Amino acid sequence: MLKKILVVEDDRDIADLVKLVLETTNSYEVSTVLDPEMAYETALSYRPDAIFLDLSMPKMDGWTVFDVIRKDASFADIPIAILTARSQDFDEMIIMHVKKADAYITKPFGKQELIDKTNELFTKRNK
């Protein structure tokens, strides 16, 4: 059975790239949301096994989306990977240790890096 991933990313090109790369592995089914205000509702209906979330988006930033999703107990065990252009060590520390994200993927990322980080995300959760 394919793992379902919801990608919340306002840049259509990046969202499409993530979808294409992960679906070509034949291990993942990917749905994308370009509007962060639709992320929570889409997650409720799609019931993903993981969520990839951009931090810098218009209308509602990724921090807000992250907090809304994490407050719902039905998503407590769903890993969230952050997709971000923020590449400073301080940003990674905040994202991983304060916000408790499950993965940190900096843009631009390579195809193999995305696949490896995605596989690690599910490996960590299944231990």
Per-residue confidence (pLDDT) for residue 85, from 0 to 100: 82
Interval 21-79: pLDDT, tens: 999 999 999 999 999 999 999 999 999 999 999 988 888 888 899 999 999 999 989 99
Q: What is the structure's pLDDT at 97?
A: 45
> Average model confidence (pLDDT) for the chain?
88
Element spanning 29, H or E: strand 28-33
- Check whether 18 has a pLDDT greater than 50: yes
Q: How many CB atoms lie within 10 A of CB 33?
A: 22
Does residue 54 fall inside a structural domain?
yes
Domain assignment present for residue 74? The answer is: yes
Question: Domain holding 69: CATH number?
Answer: 3.40.50.2300
Domain carrying residue 86: 3-118
Q: How many domains does the chain have?
A: 1
